Structure 1
Amino acid sequence: MPEKYFEIRWHGRAGQGAKSASQFLTEAAVEAGKYSTAFPEYGAERSGAPMKAFNRIADVPIRIRSGIENPDVVVVFDDTMLGLPDITAGLGEDKIMLVNTVMSPEEVREKTGFKGKIYTIPATDIALEEIKRGIPNTVMIGALVKLTNVVPMEVVKEKVRKTFEKKFSEEVVQANLRAVDRGYQEVKGDA
């Protein structure tokens, strides 16, 4: 019987941070003692072009290297992409869609037709408030951890600290920690 991996597909536009969030989550998973892979998929490589990133996380070595066809979670960084058919492709009704939007889960359901669990968070707005930049990745990671517990929150926060303190001031580190916390606390769902 094949091993079951926890699989995440991220949809965003180049430059929004979906690829970085995917890579960050894999590094946090490894630090939590799990096996994990992250990889992006680009179309036209230009800022603003639609792109995807993927994660596989497991308690056993990951032997598969193909794209993710049936994710456990789809994370959407840009709500203007909600009408695209590949957003919900392969996403079962027992799975989760997490969307960075000011829309309600019901409004997202109307736009996508997805019948599964829909969760929303105004991640870009929170990022602007906390880190003064419209890069929603730390907020989205906080929300994803709340919904899935795929990586323990304390590991994510320690990873934020270690990653950001190498390049940024303590003020920026604290802002990103607050962004993760707010993502965890403020994600809303209809399930």
Structure 2
Amino acid sequence: MQEIRFHGRGGQGTVLASISLAKAYFDAGYEVQTFPLFGVERRGAPVEAYLRIDDRKILLRCNVYEPDHIVVMDNKLLASIDVTRGLKPGGWILINTPQQPDDMTPFDGFNVAWVDATGIALQHRLGTRTSPIINTAMLGAFARTHGEPAMEHIEQAILKEVPIKQQENVMAARDAFDQLQRVDQG
């Protein structure tokens, strides 16, 4: 079983990203389980969402305490939250940021990937200038980082889950897939 923890802020599409990724994996033949964890339910508040993926039925019913991988939707969270808590050695951390983090020390023993999902969302006019919706771009970056699910499954999940600007969201996912940067250091 693989477990993934998403860190984001309310209004960024963090929960929808975990649901869409779950549907993409399900379409690819996996069993999935996804659920959010909210603190204060307001726009901009920190949000966590979890995803489990397995080739067998998932019977576990608890939060994800030791994830295999982390997705960070807002790089500003790196300064206020220990996103690596419980992350298994060699796990991937995918970060929405325009450039490699200046200080890679907190990520020793992990693999780090990043993509400018905010810039991609703005380019495709997803959300507003002050509140870009980055979730579909992060899905494309995730698919590239992990080699699965296939982009065709990501695109189908976007078309099923995203009610507006579907083609723009698909293009954002493709752009993020192509623009991903990574450092393997785990």
Q: Normalization by structure 2: what TM-score?
A: 0.90
- How far apart, in 2, do the equivalents of 1:34 and 1:11 lie? 23
Q: 2:160 aligns with which of 153, 159, 162?
A: 162
Contact 1:13 1:48 in 2 (8 A): yes
What's the CA shift string for 1:13-38, capped at 9, x where partnerless? 11111111001111222122210011
Are 2:139 and 1:150 aligned? no
> Residue type matched to 1:185 in 2?
D
Contact 2:35 2:49 in 1 (8 A): yes
Superposed CA RMSD: 1.5
Matches within 5 A, 1:7-22: 7-22=3-18
> Residue type matched to 2:27 in 1?
E
Q: 1:31 aligns with which of 27, 31, 41?
A: 27
Shift of residue 132, structure 1, vs aligned partner: 3.7
- How far apart, in 1, do the equivalents of 2:67 and 2:95 lie? 15
> Residue type matched to 1:189 in 2?
R
Which ranges in structure 1 are unaligned for 5 or more consecutive residues?
Answer: none
Q: Match for residue 176 of structure 1?
A: 169
Shift of residue 85, structure 1, vs aligned partner: 4.2
Are 2:126 and 1:125 aligned? no
- How far apart, in 2, do the equivalents of 1:109 and 1:123 lie? 20
Shift of residue 108, structure 1, vs aligned partner: 5.1
Shift of residue 102, structure 1, vs aligned partner: 1.4
Matches within 5 A, 1:1-191: 5-105=1-101, 107=102, 109-110=104-105, 113-115=106-108, 116-133=110-127, 134-164=132-162, 167-168=163-164, 172-191=165-184
What's the CA shift string for 1:61-113, capped at 9, x where partnerless? 001011111111100011111023431101133111010011314x2525xx1
Q: How many residues align?
A: 179
Q: Tell me, what secondary structure is at the counterpart of 1:82? A: helix
Which ranges in structure 2 are unaligned for 5 or more consecutive residues?
Answer: none
Contact 2:126 2:169 in 1 (8 A): no
- How far apart, in 2, do the equivalents of 1:127 and 1:60 lie? 35
- How far apart, in 1, do the equivalents of 2:158 and 2:42 lie? 27
Distance 1:77 1:108, change over 3 A: farther
Distance 1:56 1:79, change over 3 A: same
What's the CA shift string for 1:134-178, capped at 9, x where partnerless? 1000000000011113322111112223334xx43xxx2221111
Higher normalized helix content (fraction of residues) = 1
Contact 2:115 2:181 in 1 (8 A): yes
Shift of residue 179, structure 1, vs aligned partner: 0.4
> Residue type matched to 1:182 in 2?
D
- How far apart, in 2, do the equivalents of 1:143 and 1:83 lie? 22
Distance 1:189 1:17, change over 3 A: same
Contact 1:39 1:55 in 2 (8 A): yes
- How far apart, in 2, do the equivalents of 1:124 and 1:139 lie? 8
